[in-house]
Amino acid sequence: MARYSPSVQNLISKLGSLPGIGGKSAQRLAFHILSMPANEANELADAIKEAHRLTVRCSVCQNFTDSDPCPICSDPKRDRSTVCVVESPRDVSTFERMHGYKGLYHVLHGVFDPVSGKNMNDITLSQLFDRLTKSPDIKEIIMATNQTAEGNATALYVSRLLSASGIKVTRLASGLPMGSDIEFTDDLTLASALKGRVDISS
């Protein structure tokens, strides 16, 4: 006999498929949702549906946005000569929170990771190279992928591919601990890693 009714089991398994949510957390969230007043549960469901319906990837930087190009790519005050390449949209908000970076971004939506089967076609590298071809203003690419083996490999790969392009490729300074995620880096450490970035152009 099933432990829960099919609808509850379905909710638990959908919540459990989210990143970072284990079986116990999925059950806790499911029962929290079930104990909400119906209007609050509907608002939660509507928020997910609306965000999904209205959000697209910016055709320039690939970040999630509800207007294309996104507000950062459309902002005339941003420095169009520098593109900071990050793994995820969360990293863009980390950089923006720091207020020390005025250039543009490119969101890879992952990194080159042969172990998990993620190859170059699964991330937005071809869109980055297209963009570089069409935007002669871009003079520097800051590889701000996480300080992990995969993040470093992706940074070196980009630097090698751009070696003949004349575009400078830099990497955040090694003040960031190995294995660290940009997302969880405090503003001061990130600002100094950005300021002390090193040239990895090959």
Contacts with Zn ion by CB under 5 A lie at 58, 60-61, 69-70, 73
Nearer to Zn ion, 16 or 69 (CB): 69
User: What is the closest distance, in whole angstroms, from the C-beta atom of residue 159 to Zn ion in the complex?
Assistant: 23
Nearer to Zn ion, 89 or 151 (CB): 89
Tally Cβ neighbours within 10 Å of residue 163. Answer: 12
Nearer to Zn ion, 82 or 147 (CB): 82
User: What is the closest distance, in whole angstroms, from the C-beta atom of residue 74 to Zn ion in the complex?
Assistant: 8
User: What is the closest distance, in whole angstroms, from the C-beta atom of residue 105 to Zn ion in the complex?
Assistant: 7
User: What is the closest distance, in whole angstroms, from the C-beta atom of residue 54 to Zn ion in the complex?
Assistant: 16
User: What is the closest distance, in whole angstroms, from the C-beta atom of residue 60 to Zn ion in the complex?
Assistant: 4
What is the distance of C-alpha 9 from the center of its chain? 31
Nearer to Zn ion, 105 or 112 (CB): 105
Nearer to Zn ion, 64 or 157 (CB): 64
